[in-house]
Amino acid sequence: MICVRYNKTRGQIGRGSIDHVWRIFDDGKEYVVKNVRINVPSWGAKTGEDWSICCEGVITVDKETSTITIGEKVCMPK
């Protein structure tokens, strides 16, 4: 499950610039980015003390624009 949460600590040391407004959690890894695109069905869920937008999919990272895109998992036919 991928979770997207607002970055309440943006602008602080090690938490991205003031423009890095999103925290993305996937498989134990955290990304801090400026933009996120969710191209799959999503739902709200309480994750710890905070609420997150959650979904299932695959993450693509564009470091040049600081954007994460969450897309569908594609199964290749055998």
What pLDDT is attached to residue 47?
A: 84
Mind listing the pLDDT tens digit for each residue in 17-72? Answer: 999 999 999 999 999 999 999 999 999 999 888 999 999 999 999 999 999 999 99
Task: Answer yes or no: are the C-beta atoms of 22 and 32 closer than 8 Å.
Answer: yes
Amino acid at 14: G
Residues in contact with 2: Cβ distance below 8 Å, sequence separation at least 6, in sequence order: 24, 25, 26, 54, 55, 56, 57, 59, 70
Q: What confidence category does residue 75 fall into, taking pLDDT thresholds of 50, 70 and 90?
A: confident
